[in-house]
Amino acid sequence: MPGGSRYLPDTVSIPPYPAPDEIAPSVSPSEATSVPPVPASADSLAFCRAILPRVSRTFALSIRLLPGSLHHAVLSAYLLCRIADTIEDDHAATVERKSELLELLLRALDDESAGATLEEASRELVAGEAAHVELVHGTSHVLDVYRSLPAGSRSRVRHWVREMVQGMEKFVRLYPNGIRIRTLDEYKEYCYYVAGTVGHLLTDLWREHSASIGVAEYRALWRQCRAFGEALQTVNIIKDIAWDATHENAIYVPEQSLREHGSSHQLLLDPAHTAQNHAAVAELIELAWHDLDAALDYFATIPRRALSVRAFCLLPLLFAYATLRELTRSRAMLRPGGTVKITRREVRALMAAGLLLVPSNGAVRWLVGRVRRKPFLAPAARA
């Protein structure tokens, strides 16, 4: 096992939803949507928009649906989270180096000089996918867009990125030789930090930028927003089990679950233990189904007038439901090099149907039920 590993507390303290006057400190929702006083440079916006589909095709599709300052807020916030994620995943860096870079990222949210230092220090990154490393090298562009946001948006982005990064740093120090999740409770804590925080962040931004999301709607969304982020994370973790183990030196399937079914982290990709490993993974699949259904309730709570926000949330949910359907039937993710993906044809069909049905909760629930059973495919074009 990795040096220094130990059990974490069974639960993580999650703050209750804030009072109405804490939603956007020092600004009202109407002020938060005003034109920022110092717009981001054209070069910075161009960099962020160009790099986004290279680090996440799914969220690139969704973010482009958001208008104006909300688009800029979610764009910069998402890329800041990916910068943190790239630093965390750099398995060639020492714990001390990762912690130093993560701390620089947090300082850069308030101190422009720290951003320049981070960008220069990040030149030493030697591991990671090319697009992700390029994103870290372009940190100053992302920070430029972040600093152009209204004060309320910056406040909420700063709060939740800080919460995420501090949680990442905790796990980096806990597992200096590569993450090896021990229990399901520890898994849930990790997912809160890297994904549940995103659900909270997005919900805060919806409140600030959407006139149709008042205090009552915001509080209702707050109760489900953690599940929205964590559901998508769990589906990705299951899909990438083999990749994470072989390329990222990270195993998120709880060791306790594997041992209960006659396997272990060391045997996770062993063909002789595929049945045992799949039984352990089935617990994560069940968790993902549960969280996806809670995320669907989150979507349904968004007022119909907030069409762009509903569309943003719906597309990744549909893709996640379809992917989890395939993961439930496959064991490819437990083989080195194995992948589980939905087809491009289904992606296109889900995009078209989702955007058409997005105003109707009943129609969306029908579509989700259909996707859970079998691939949703548009009729093939006739020659």
pLDDT by residue, tens only, the chain of 383 residues: 233 332 233 344 444 434 433 443 333 443 344 444 588 899 999 999 999 999 988 888 899 999 999 999 999 999 999 999 998 888 778 899 889 889 999 999 988 878 778 777 777 665 678 899 899 989 999 999 999 999 999 999 999 999 999 999 999 999 998 999 999 999 999 999 999 999 999 999 999 999 999 999 999 999 999 999 999 999 999 999 999 999 889 999 999 999 999 999 999 999 999 999 999 999 999 999 999 999 999 999 999 999 999 999 999 999 999 999 999 999 999 999 998 999 999 999 999 999 999 999 999 999 999 999 999 987 765 44
State how far the Cα of 101 lies from the Cα of 278, in Å rounded to an integer. 36
Task: Give yes or no for a contact between 156 and 205, defined as CB atoms under 8 angstroms apart.
Answer: yes
Count CB-CB contacts under 10 A for residue 19. 9
Model confidence, pTM: 0.87
Choosing among 3.40.50.410, 3.40.50.1860, 1.10.600.10, 3.50.50.60, the CATH entry for 39-177 is 1.10.600.10
Please name which of 356, 350, 225, 369 lies closest in space to residue 299, comparing C-alpha atoms. Answer: 225
Task: Give yes or no for a contact between 202 and 228, defined as CB atoms under 8 angstroms apart.
Answer: yes
CATH superfamily of the domain spanning 179-383: Farnesyl Diphosphate Synthase (1.10.600.10)
233 HSE (CA, 13 A, CB side): 21
What residue ranges do the domains of the chain occupy? 39-177, 179-383
State how far the Cα of 214 lies from the Cα of 19, in Å rounded to an integer. 12
Q: What tokens appear for 344 in the block?
A: 């491009």
Q: Is the dihedral of CA 143, 147, 150, 156 positive or negative?
A: positive
